[in-house]
Amino acid sequence: GESVGLHLPTLSVQEGDNSIINCAYSNSASDYFIWYKQESGKGPQFIIDIRSNMDKRQGQRVTVLLNKTVKHLSLQIAATQPGDSAVYFCAENIEGAQKLVFGQGTRLTINP
């Protein structure tokens, strides 16, 4: 749903470990979801997307899971690397609307 200006939660993992970043969305009419990575001072970078007719989608080292029953989205990053350190946002698109609404975001830190 709409972010209301909350400060970012953080997640720290050891390099090489897997990480899971979670996102709750509020609008049951949302039918398209995207995960973005944002590095400091830069715009969001597309990671992976999923439509509401799917519950899982895999990319290179990343997997997105969608649970429409509880309106929950997760991003799994396998074998994390230092370059994965960034802020990760989920975004939802409501069916029939053009705009993309961003979730709260999570700061991921990879420890060497």
Residues 80-99 that bind other proteins (CB under 8 A): 89, 98-99
Distances (CA, A) of 3 to 6, 94, 108: 7, 15, 18
* Site membership for other proteins, residue 7 (CB under 8 A): yes
102 and 3 in contact (C-beta within 8 Å)?
A: yes
CA distance 41 to 66: 29
* Site membership for other proteins, residue 79 (CB under 8 A): no
Q: 10-49 mask for other proteins (x: CB under 8 A)?
A: ----------------------x-x-x----xxxxxx---
β-strands 106-111, 19-24: how paired? unpaired
By CB under 8 A, name the binding residues for other proteins: 2-3, 5-8, 32, 34, 36, 41-46, 89, 98-105
